[in-house]
Copies of this chain bind each other. A is one copy, B any other.
């Protein structure tokens, strides 16, 4: 029913404007890095999953006043098996309760028939009465390497429910270059960008803002190729990894925004959520770990906010 649901990009733009920043905090919880206070007391997956969920609630409370969205990477929850997936779902629901948009970083990608099941699992409203509907994220990341048939179930679900997709086009990991850059002629990421643009550019997939629900993950590299990717993807909302611990600056990310400052969000994970391990945030008391996270989130939000100023 068109008109009934608000487009993902319109919701995201509103949230970015309200917070004055396109900063997204990535929740990548690793058990060994949790504040000592929160570490589990026994060797049960259930306890580990609860510890990670408690950590994420603390981070969410600290960052919710400063950023429009969090990105939650399911890979950090899967080591706790079923209990981990429950903790992932509870973390999404908790972020929603605190008014945040949520990107589920799941990077799924499988052939058409399986893709339909993954779309049910990660993007569609749950058809079950024992599952909290708030545990579905507003957008997810996907691996597009199986072609449009593998993306179609996700695109349909996203369009129907006002949710979004970010398809991997240019990953931040330097090691990905040996896979993506070979032969002569067009680069693989340019070819992917072209496909993602075509898959997402149709009237029923665009929001009021002119952006599609089919987005892309694009890491900033040299200025020229970064700018070229933005031009290949004129209607594509971008999720930009690599800021902070991975080394990219807002300067490097700037070409990925549209002239009006919309069109991209920038993620930082480790540099924010583990701020309490940085010497510059000397803690007075172990409970103070959340103040360090809040301070790091505030700094990140302010730095990323510069992208919203007219270029």
- Residues of chain A touching chain B, judged by Cβ–Cβ distance below 8 Å, are 28, 30, 42-46, 48, 73, 75-76, 78-86, 89, 107-115, 117-118, 120-122, 126-131, 135, 143-150, 168, 171-180, 182-186, 188, 191-192, 195
Contacts and interface: CB of A to CB of B under 8 A. Distances in A.
Contact of A107 (B109, B171, B174): B109
B117 A46 contact: no
A133 to B, nearest CB: 12
Given A145-B143, A177-B147, A183-B183, A128 B44 contact: yes
Across chains A and B, which 6 residue pairs bring their CB atoms closest together, nearest first?
Answer: A147-B175, A149-B175, A78-B121, A111-B173, A82-B86, A82-B82
B146 A75 contact: no
Contacts of A114: 28, 73, 75-76
A253 to B, nearest CB: 17
B108 A110 contact: no
A283 B47 CA distance: 47
Contacts of A80: 121, 128
A173 B112 contact: yes
A185 B186 CA distance: 11
Nearest to A198: B178
A176 B146 contact: yes
Nearest to A172: B111
A82 B89 contact: yes
Contacts of A168: 145
A147 B173 contact: yes
Given A107-B109, A128-B44, A145-B168, A178 B150 contact: no
Nearest to A30: B117
A274 B149 CA distance: 23
B120 A79 contact: yes
Contact of A185 (B120, B144, B183, B191): B183
Nearest to A43: B129
Nearest to A132: B81
Contacts of A185: 183-185
A168 B150 CA distance: 14
Contacts of A85: 78, 81-82, 84-85
Given A73-B114, A112-B175, A178-B195, 6 more contacts: A76-B114, A78-B117, A78-B118, A144-B179, A146-B176, A150-B175
Contacts of A30: 117
Nearest to A151: B175
A214 B172 CA distance: 24
Contact of A175 (B73, B146, B182): B146
Contacts of A129: 42-44
A114 B107 CA distance: 11
Nearest to A184: B185
A176 B107 CA distance: 17
